[in-house]
Amino acid sequence: MADNKGMRVNEQIRVREIRLIDDEGEQKGIVPTIEALRMAKERDLDLVEVSPNANPPVCKILDFGKYRFEQEKKLRDSKKNQKVLKIKEIRMQPKIGSGDLDTKAKHVQEFLNEGDKVKVTIRFRGRELAHTELGFDVLKEVEKRLVEGSYAIEKPAAMEGRFMSMTLGSKVTKPKKPAAQAAEPKSEPKDSETQPE
């Protein structure tokens, strides 16, 4: 019972009296802790402190193993439903060739189509820092090669030390999972199919 994430269970509850909720969810009022422990043991369950900051602390009689499993399951489910926002980074230099620029712009477009944010970064080396306008030109060329309306500039081109970068956000909504779409046509027969009666 060491790893119960800060919850006190059974003999770990060391206050004199508690506010008790039994295994059916009924309020039993303020009860001595020893009496509550005895009631929990009679029902072959645990006494779990659910609200330690209350005065007196609130405890429930329940199956702690099952309770902890359900809490972890809720946590896993909530993590599944979270949308993970990825920021992809494409790096290049101010003296990039036209063919390489096309390839990099194609990668940026692919990331935007997948619904990700993209940070386009230009790295200046040595004397290139004296010509930062070349970086602006490269970023403008990248923008020209992207599909109109598929992105929004979230952070315009700006210098950060030896780097110039801009951040693009996707306007493309991700398609829904194909498994859900594949299940729909099976439920309805097509008009061209005739079913024998």
pLDDT tens string 48-93: 888 888 888 899 999 888 888 988 898 888 887 776 677 888 999 9
CA distance 14 to 52: 11
- Give SS3 for 177: coil
For residue 127, the SS3 value is helix
Predicted local confidence at residue 177, as pLDDT: 47
Please identify every stretch of the chain with a pLDDT value under 70, giving residue numbers as ranges: 1-6, 83-84, 173-197
Integer angstrom CA distances of residue 159 from 18, 62, 73, 126: 61, 59, 45, 15
Eight-class DSSP state of 176: P
Q: Rounded to an integer, what distance in angstroms lies between the CA atom of residue 111 and that of residue 104?
A: 11
User: What is the chain's percent helix, strand, coil content, to nearest 5?
Assistant: 40, 25, 35
pLDDT at 192: 47
Predicted pLDDT of residue 79? 80
Residue whose C-alpha is closest to residue 168's, from 147, 152, 150, 179: 152
pLDDT at 119: 92
CA distances from 40 to 9, 50, 70, 76, 179 (A): 11, 15, 20, 29, 46
pLDDT at residue 4, rounded to an integer: 53
Q: What is the pLDDT of residue 5?
A: 62
- What does the chain come to in residues? 197
Q: Which residues, 6 or more positions from 111, have their beta carbon under 8 angstroms from its beta carbon?
A: 88, 90, 118, 170
